Structure 1
């Protein structure tokens, strides 16, 4: 696939020095016992030993889908198995290996019915297996780790020198700051929604920010700011990211604004780049301090209608071949580390690593599924920008004082927190404001105070919409005789959000309320839920996010209201924390938006 295709065989085009997981239960249908220790599998059944020579008996076909970077090594071992007539249970192995991007396979598992055309899946990271299991409910079982590769920052020589390579070490925060500010080298990354390398890199940036900044909101804001900068030069895939590097060492290429002088990439990707003479200038690698992320290439068994006992035995046999010394040598030749992650000096040097860069450091603890989901939400709203309609309860009960806040009311704290949340959005985000209470505007329970428009847009007087919205937030006040007209307001606001849906943005409706619906003359709960079910469209999603303030808020009704929209309900005991809860809820909703 173009100039930057990874090798299709197990031997690099150019060699030599450059210039100077969590365990899962596995049930085997065949009853064959395998011992898995640190990614190495040992066959205990004599029936799995190889039979040399030409195959003259029955053949078992095994289909494997592998990440493009590791597929050539997997093919090499599969080819050797055919050449040597390796057998499982007395039957010769016929192993076909297809190169498939991990995100494409993960998305395919979301289709119904699920019937993949392969029995083994080897993605570049366990995060894809975890995502499929958590989001799709598809039965998968990881039998071992085949290889690993740490994630680092690769830079062309001129850029590496400007960063102080190899003597200068950076934390993740320092490294991304050094490559995203001022006259820094252009830094590229693969889209985290499509790339484990991109997502794990963002996770390490987030973890470093959290460690350096005790205030979690400030840390999240820093991570979001970094994500926005990375998004400016994000490529759709790992291969496309590699294709953005200079094609030669000329000054013109170095100045080309479309070219990146640095990339967040795996050590193996740098190795592949540096071992192909026509891939442009060699890369130098900077390994961040504080623990790197790494790809871990899980050997994953897929439970589908085609996995009969013979194929199960064949899958286990192939895992054994990949884990034996010959199989591991095939992986080393393409720049992968062993399952333990131990650095191979030859691989590191060819990839661009040099002391004192911390390339032998142990990897950091991998992010949890919950952390990755939050990061995907952050990335989604960073990439797409947001269109949010905010609807705030202005009933009399919002004037109640909040214990521990020197007599300040729920509304006082809500306004301050909403203004704080406003600072987290960019000039391209669109935000509006409604307030509601019974008979607020004639017979209506709601009133639009500020339309949902671009924060960077300007009014006739020259002020920005951000300024006007801040004034609108500041004007919020409880209505002395107002009750909570929740249901009519929710329907009207959702109808407006659906009719003004903006493609290419993250659309959502956020409702803050501290009570139960008090409008006996309006729509009922059952009818409201029914209408929301009809209005909701998965292809044009507008999740409804409900923030229940205080103990009197009717969370039971709110759960029913948000369900048809794919939204969520969040209890907020302290209104001063509304901004934190709201931003986290938006990010969580963003992670579930189809991409």
Structure 2
């Protein structure tokens, strides 16, 4: 069955539990694990498995790093397996569990540097596997199935929940968030979406719902919600619970630093309620437009470097969670297992009640694009951004986009206006345009200085001015692409006007390679950009090559000289998503 087939004890008919493609749902992954369990049962009846005897002398060590919430359950299962001498190929499995925040592990694996020092990773969400994939030299991770799940909802102290009609009244995500945005009536806290899958899944759901219901103002509404949420954000899920007000104390309830509502997983609410006592327990709202779920993927790390014994022992440990005792351990710690309706006891302990829709199917997980856009929006919303935008207005921008009936410039302007709607009034945005000999001997022209979008300028605002300038962009007849001189000049200004405490970046859009024969060379440009770039005052260049004539290799090389990133899009309509993706990537480096 190959190098990583299941241990011999499972018999030749036992299937490999690992999915062959990424992105499987919890239901599918669970079905795979249950299938493995069926194979295990056959093997047990055939006396092929040995759960006792002296196998400890040559035990196979498996090191597991897990999200802090699930680490205690895994540790219990590992201790139980050690006590019962559970074996793989005749050798005991000796599983050691270390708790570590998923975002920290993802950032380590994304760089691909050094030996991770563990064989298995169990993050709280497959979102972190996507984060790892952003790295150019990332460590190989191989998901083998999901061992548990937990829906994400909104937990409140009893007085706040009662005020919103819990449990009989149901809300969707924007309605719940909206209740917390009306003054200081309901103080809502969340964990940082850049560091918490719970926070990111909730924010992605909020953003998607706001865009669907808000029409053309949906992006602005989503950014507004993110901004309101950012005011009460904690670094991690564990720290978030420390911000909760005690319901029995009037002083705590009135303390503006204390939260009355938290975006939490069901499992986190379960654990809190287990030790909080009735007066300080939480009531759980399950939004009627769907509760996204943490899915706890069991993941082999650098599986090509694992010995056959290690990989098979690691998979052996995973299958323990498909049997009755393994599921009981997970449920005791507040996790859901399998695809059946959740245990009423578990839901009640977490603060859920009928008719809250706690047993509904999970909402469709956000796409990779939606996650990138959400994290990009979060980066610029929380930090506030200072972004200078430089747009190619050479003659070729007047060419039509295949299948659209619009020119590259028309589609580019629409995408830029869409991106602008996602910025808040605290963000600083400016605009340059460029083509050869556009302004005397210069290939560029400053149209709008980079400053705060909310600033009043005459009868309008900076936002109005930038929006108008985007709309007025037009191709210059006969103009060629003066990319190198423009990029150097724009980067010098962006670096010299760096705003501390903000996310600083330079965005350059071009539909062609450099066409200015009198300009500096590419190697000279790269060298000067490297000298100008300062890690203590980072200004990543986000260079986007638009259309079939653009040179992706060129923009990548130029951008990477500043710690930024180069991208190519066939359709200018993709510009908005690419900018947010690039901001998310650059923000995760910080």
Could you state the TM-score of these two structures normalised by the residue count of structure 2?
0.83
Q: 1:424: Cα distance to partner?
A: 3.5
* Cross-structure match for 1:187: 188
Q: 1:254: Cα distance to partner?
A: 0.9
Alignment of 1:222-301 (within 5 A): 222-277=221-276, 281-301=280-300
- Answer yes or no: is 1:39 the counterpart of 2:33: yes
* Cross-structure match for 1:93: 93
* Cross-structure match for 1:172: 173
SS in 2 for 1:188: strand
- Answer yes or no: is 1:58 the counterpart of 2:58: yes
Separation of aligned partners in 2, 1:498 and 1:362: 49
SS in 2 for 1:159: helix
* Cross-structure match for 1:82: 82
Separation of aligned partners in 1, 2:320 and 2:360: 29
SS in 2 for 1:103: helix
Separation of aligned partners in 1, 2:401 and 2:129: 45
SS in 1 for 2:181: coil
Kindly provide the CA deviation profile for residues 440-477 of structure 1, in whole angstroms up to 9, marking residues without a partner as x. 44432223343322334567x79754466567667767
- Say which of 503, 507, 511 aligns to 1:510: 507
Q: 1:293: Cα distance to partner?
A: 0.7
Separation of aligned partners in 2, 1:404 and 1:326: 58
Kindly provide the CA deviation profile for residues 87-135 of structure 1, in whole angstroms up to 9, marking residues without a partner as x. 3333333322111111111112134434222222221112223432454
Separation of aligned partners in 1, 2:133 and 2:510: 35
Q: 1:344 to 1:96 in 2, by over 3 A?
A: same
Runs of 5+ consecutive residues of structure 1 not aligned to the other structure: 1-24
- Say which of 428, 432, 435 aligns to 1:434: 432
Separation of aligned partners in 2, 1:456 and 1:531: 34
SS in 2 for 1:357: coil
Q: 1:536: Cα distance to partner?
A: 5.1
Q: Does structure 2 conserve the Cα–Cα contact (< 8 Å) formed by 1:60 and 1:94?
A: yes
**Mean alpha-carbon deviation: is it higher for 483-492 or for 155-164?**
483-492
* Cross-structure match for 1:12: none
Q: 1:82: Cα distance to partner?
A: 2.4
Separation of aligned partners in 1, 2:481 and 2:475: 11
Q: 1:259: Cα distance to partner?
A: 0.9
Q: 1:322 to 1:169 in 2, by over 3 A?
A: same
Separation of aligned partners in 2, 1:467 and 1:172: 31
Separation of aligned partners in 2, 1:416 and 1:247: 49
Q: Does structure 1 conserve the Cα–Cα contact (< 8 Å) formed by 2:159 and 2:247?
A: no
**Mean alpha-carbon deviation: is it higher for 424-433 or for 66-75?**
424-433
Q: Does structure 1 conserve the Cα–Cα contact (< 8 Å) formed by 2:381 and 2:423?
A: no
Q: 1:250 to 1:321 in 2, by over 3 A?
A: same
Separation of aligned partners in 2, 1:447 and 1:395: 13
Q: Does structure 2 conserve the Cα–Cα contact (< 8 Å) formed by 1:247 and 1:279?
A: no
- Answer yes or no: is 1:496 the counterpart of 2:489: no
Alignment of 1:1-16 (within 5 A): none
Q: Does structure 1 conserve the Cα–Cα contact (< 8 Å) formed by 2:508 and 2:542?
A: yes
RMSD over aligned Cα atoms: 3.7
Q: Does structure 2 conserve the Cα–Cα contact (< 8 Å) formed by 1:497 and 1:542?
A: no
Kindly provide the CA deviation profile for residues 49-100 of structure 1, in whole angstroms up to 9, marking residues without a partner as x. 3433676643332222121111111111222222223333333333221111
Q: Does structure 2 conserve the Cα–Cα contact (< 8 Å) formed by 1:509 and 1:543?
A: yes
* Cross-structure match for 1:73: 73
Separation of aligned partners in 2, 1:165 and 1:398: 56
Q: 1:538: Cα distance to partner?
A: 6.7
Number of matched pairs: 561
* Cross-structure match for 2:200: 199
Separation of aligned partners in 1, 2:399 and 2:333: 66
Separation of aligned partners in 2, 1:274 and 1:202: 24
* Cross-structure match for 2:442: 444
Q: 1:416 to 1:349 in 2, by over 3 A?
A: closer
Q: 1:309: Cα distance to partner?
A: 3.0
Q: 1:53 to 1:389 in 2, by over 3 A?
A: same
Q: 1:378: Cα distance to partner?
A: 1.7
SS in 2 for 1:275: helix
SS in 1 for 2:93: strand
Separation of aligned partners in 2, 1:288 and 1:477: 46
Q: Does structure 2 conserve the Cα–Cα contact (< 8 Å) formed by 1:570 and 1:581?
A: no
SS in 1 for 2:451: strand
Separation of aligned partners in 1, 2:511 and 2:88: 65
Runs of 5+ consecutive residues of structure 2 not aligned to the other structure: 18-30
Separation of aligned partners in 2, 1:474 and 1:367: 31
Q: Does structure 2 conserve the Cα–Cα contact (< 8 Å) formed by 1:54 and 1:84?
A: no
Separation of aligned partners in 2, 1:107 and 1:517: 35
